[in-house]
Structure 1
Amino acid sequence: MELKRSAKSVIERIVHLRDSLDLGDKKDRRDELEQEMGGPAFWNDQDKAKEIIQELKTLNAVLKPFEELLRQSDDLETLVEFAEEAEDDEFDDEIRAAAKKAQADFEAFELRSMLGGPNDHCNAFITIHAGAGGTEACDWAEMVLRMYLMWAESKGFSTQITDREEGGAAGIQVATIHIKGEYAYGYLKCETGVHRLVRISPYDSAGRRQTSFASVDVLPEIDDTIDIVLRDDELKRDTFRSGGPGGQHQNKTESGVRYTHLPTGIAAESRSERSQHKNDANALAQLKAKLIRMEEEKREADFAKKYDEKGEISFGSQIRSYVLQPYQLVKDLRTSHEVGNPRAVLDGGLDGFIEAYLRMKLAASGEK
């Protein structure tokens, strides 16, 4: 009896979700796009065709999991009806397995439905800066870099380090990762802010406890369907020698490119490619993403800090603390979500923090 009640509870949650979501417009739009794709002249305009394919992909990222969830609910309901008619435990194993999968898929879809921002579906750029503190801070910045690379790997996302400046004795001074995957930006944008580490320093011969800081900035990769106009007279372009481990070519030629948007002072640079042309394109793409993100943050002022209000990378400005000594704890200061196993978090276990932030944001939007 308890098993059937549990299964019915899962069904009720899915039905409630179905009734509360208005996906009719999305379904109509998908039908319209699929009809266009089936037309004989679809590929005559390749740019438009790519836009349609991308839009259809974005719609299906929501609709297909939702339709699968409804199918699971119907199947589970049928199993429960059979079990009630049979009045025995013949279907218990099937009900238990089906209810467990439906519950897991429901929670995954519920989380995905929180990603409704205009750029949430985009790929992401993550830039990590070491805070004050020399080698200790640079080493921490590289640990943060590794954490995001491992998180992306766990999701099956592809990654590329597009910019990296070594920290000297160890670690990095700054690095940028390009992460490609569905809703990468939507998941990762809550990571923007200052991350604080407390540990026994491996670089202190006296074995004293040290506090280090690293800032994280997350930007969407803006696709070609979003038109950002950058006027030439509002841009300052600089080139510089890339330096670092890139070899003599990068050290001797000015392949690095930096763009500065004069009206806002926002800058973006790229140094990882041997080709100045590729670095130019990377820097310009990141600048566009920063400008888009700045506008997005104005609409989300309750949850994000504006560029000119980021504050110092030090005490009092962190969003999350990672404590390795004298105890073991990672705690997000915005949501109070915490994990007592820092190693798992530093190995990419960020999903709990991301989900807690999204649920906090969803609850806050519901109160307005």
Structure 2
Amino acid sequence: MNSWCIFDLPGKEVEIASLQKKSEDPELWNDREHAQRIMKNLADLRDELEGWRKLENRITSSLELAELEDESLQPDLEAELEPIEKELEQRELSTLLAGPYDKGDALLTISSGAGGTESNDWAAMLQRMYLRWIERHNYEAEVLDLTEGEEAGIKSVTISVKGRLAYGYLHAEKGVHRLVRLSPFDSAHRRHTSFAQVEVLPEVTSETATVQINPEDLRIDVYRSAGAGGQNVQKNSTAVRITHLPTGLVVSCQNERSQMQNRESAMRVLQARLEDIAQQERDKELANLRGEYVKTEWGSQIRSYVLHPYQMVKDHRTEYEVGNAQAVLDGDLDGFIEAYLRWRLDPAKE
């Protein structure tokens, strides 16, 4: 029951003390963005340390009660054991996220594959699934760009996900997702297979950025926002498209009210994509941040969602699967994410 020792409590206390000292610097708020990151990191570390301390106290108290060997306490001890084990597993899992970006925010992009309306609808189902997962984890979601399908669903969406460990967890979702179902768009109700690509990139701050963007390398176009958009999208030219000329990368944002906000959001996405390319070049591994690019078609999927003729969701990397497909589509992804994080560290995997 001493498993909490996997978390370096004294080391975190030293880190908190260092951040506390920085937070007391009278010149800290001269750089507001830097100051906000310091305060956020300090608050996150304090919450994390407090959580481990509370868990340690619960374990110690349970052990002390068990040592009394009082049979009347057995039901209470058994009831306490399951939530302790569950929380300990979750906290142990978080220690696996030690990458340079794992503890930060994420940019999640969903793009429909070939297949028109079917794939567009599947991309919209994935958007709903991830928004439900984000809500379950009390993260903040902001839709930066959304392109709707011509008949139904979406062609693509980019979502900013803010919260501690957001990138570390969502990184497990990068790749092609495959859906098999009876089509609601087919009058003959035939079975269809659809694909969508999920891309996950870390949000990059000025402190973690390694790529400097030269303004002269950018072509910036403004245009009217497309799609329904609701009241949050104005009819004038507020949407922004930025082309990075040296690489040919194109990013767009249209969901904010002002052109300036959309430009800032587009620059965040562009910075993340350029950082991803730089990381790939440094490591010579396409799978490090974004993963190796694969065509969105049959045979390349990381996960299959089968709704007909039976219900099953299976991850092809880890072999983890569940029979309740609807629960997964409602955002119950933690089992898949945990399986991936443990599989990633398994030396026996290919």
Structure 1 length as normaliser, TM-score?
0.85
Find the counterpart in structure 2 of residue 5 from structure 1.
Answer: none
Amino acid at match of 1:283: A
Match of 1:139 among 121, 138, 141: 121
Find the counterpart in structure 2 of residue 81 from structure 1.
Answer: 67
Q: 1:276 and 2:259 equivalent?
A: yes
Match of 1:59 among 22, 30, 45: 45
The separation in 1 between residues aligned to 2:66 and 2:102, in whole angstroms, is 38
Match of 2:104 among 114, 119, 122: 122
- Aligned partners of 1:123 and 1:221 also within 8 Å: yes
The C-alpha deviation readout for 1:222-260, integer Å capped at 9, x for no partner, is 234334521123323233332211379968643221223
Amino acid at match of 1:153: E
The C-alpha deviation readout for 1:141-161, integer Å capped at 9, x for no partner, is 111111111111122222222
The separation in 1 between residues aligned to 2:290 and 2:230, in whole angstroms, is 37
- Aligned partners of 1:197 and 1:211 also within 8 Å: yes
* Unmatched 5+ stretches in structure 1: 1-10
Q: 1:185 and 2:146 equivalent?
A: no
**1:339 offset after TM fit, Å?**
0.9
Amino acid at match of 1:121: K
The C-alpha deviation readout for 1:274-301, integer Å capped at 9, x for no partner, is 3211110000011112223344556593
**1:194 offset after TM fit, Å?**
0.9
The C-alpha deviation readout for 1:2-21, integer Å capped at 9, x for no partner, is xxxxxxxxx1xxx2451x55
Secondary structure of the corresponding residue to residue 138 of structure 1? helix
The separation in 1 between residues aligned to 2:243 and 2:159, in whole angstroms, is 20
**1:302 offset after TM fit, Å?**
7.8
Find the counterpart in structure 2 of residue 160 from structure 1.
Answer: 142
The separation in 2 between residues aligned to 1:322 and 1:263, in whole angstroms, is 38
Find the counterpart in structure 1 of residue 13 from structure 2.
Answer: 27
Amino acid at match of 2:227: G
CA RMSD of aligned residues (A): 2.8
- Aligned partners of 1:194 and 1:216 also within 8 Å: yes
Change (3 A) 1:119 1:41: same
Find the counterpart in structure 2 of residue 267 from structure 1.
Answer: 250
Secondary structure of the corresponding residue to residue 315 of structure 1? coil
Find the counterpart in structure 1 of residue 92 from structure 2.
Answer: 110
Between the two proteins, the alignment pairs up a number of residues equal to 347
Secondary structure of the corresponding residue to residue 220 of structure 2? strand
Deviates more, 1:115-124 or 1:132-141: 115-124
Find the counterpart in structure 2 of residue 241 from structure 1.
Answer: 224
Find the counterpart in structure 2 of residue 199 from structure 1.
Answer: 181
- Aligned partners of 1:198 and 1:212 also within 8 Å: yes
Structure 2 length as normaliser, TM-score?
0.89
Amino acid at match of 1:327: Y
Q: 1:334 and 2:317 equivalent?
A: yes
- Sequence identity percentage: 41
Change (3 A) 1:102 1:247: closer
Secondary structure of the corresponding residue to residue 68 of structure 2? helix
The separation in 2 between residues aligned to 1:306 and 1:16, in whole angstroms, is 33
The separation in 2 between residues aligned to 1:296 and 1:187, in whole angstroms, is 19
**1:340 offset after TM fit, Å?**
0.7
The separation in 1 between residues aligned to 2:275 and 2:12, in whole angstroms, is 24
